[in-house]
Amino acid sequence: MTKKQILRIADLAYSEERAVEMSISEGAACGDTLALFIARELSDVYDRKAGTRGQIEEARRAMHAAEIELGRVVGALEDALHAAGDGRWSEFHASPKYPVKDWRYEVANGDTERGYHEWVESCLERDKDENE
């Protein structure tokens, strides 16, 4: 499998057509820094000597590691939001029924794409529907 094929797989999943692949040729001028980040990460781990399965596994590992790190950044920003005194956050943050670690777990597993607040609201709504 070529590096271009690996980037094409990423492009098929990315929200903007060919943004990942194009970012390699355009570099910092591409304007889409997330696409550039993905392309650089995938390029960094690409090993032309590895078989197709090995290349895909390594690309997946790199993206999963980035997902975990981005989750930590999101968590830190949410902690900062909490520290800033957002009452809505405080209400949910204090709830042992919907801890941030559970939300992060669901995000990491691909079970939700919601932000923490939206996830809690959906859990509350689900609980309400189940109790009716």
Tell me which DSSP letter residue 8 carries: H
- The reported pLDDT for the residue numbered 72 is 80
Instruction: Return the residue matching tokens 């690409």.
Output: 46
Mean pLDDT of 31-40: 85
Domain residue spans of the chain: 1-63
- The reported pLDDT for the residue numbered 91 is 47
Higher pLDDT, residue 47 or 87: 47
- The reported pLDDT for the residue numbered 63 is 93
Could you tell me how far CA 94 lies from the centroid of its own chain?
A: 25
Contacts of 18 (CB under 8 A, 6+ apart): 11
SS (H, E, C) 74-121: HHHHHHHHHHCCCHHHHHHHCCCCCCHHHHHHHHHCCCCCCCHHHHHH
pLDDT in tens, 94-124: 566 788 778 888 888 888 888 777 888 889 8
- As a whole number of angstroms, the distance between CA 109 and CA 128 comes to 25
pLDDT in tens, 52-95: 999 999 999 999 999 888 888 887 787 777 666 655 555 445 56
Q: Is the pLDDT of residue 39 over 50?
A: yes
- As a whole number of angstroms, the distance between CA 64 and CA 59 comes to 9
Mean pLDDT of 19-32: 70
Tell me which DSSP letter residue 17 carries: T
- The reported pLDDT for the residue numbered 29 is 59
- The reported pLDDT for the residue numbered 130 is 87
The reply to whether the predicted model has a pTM over 0.85 is: no
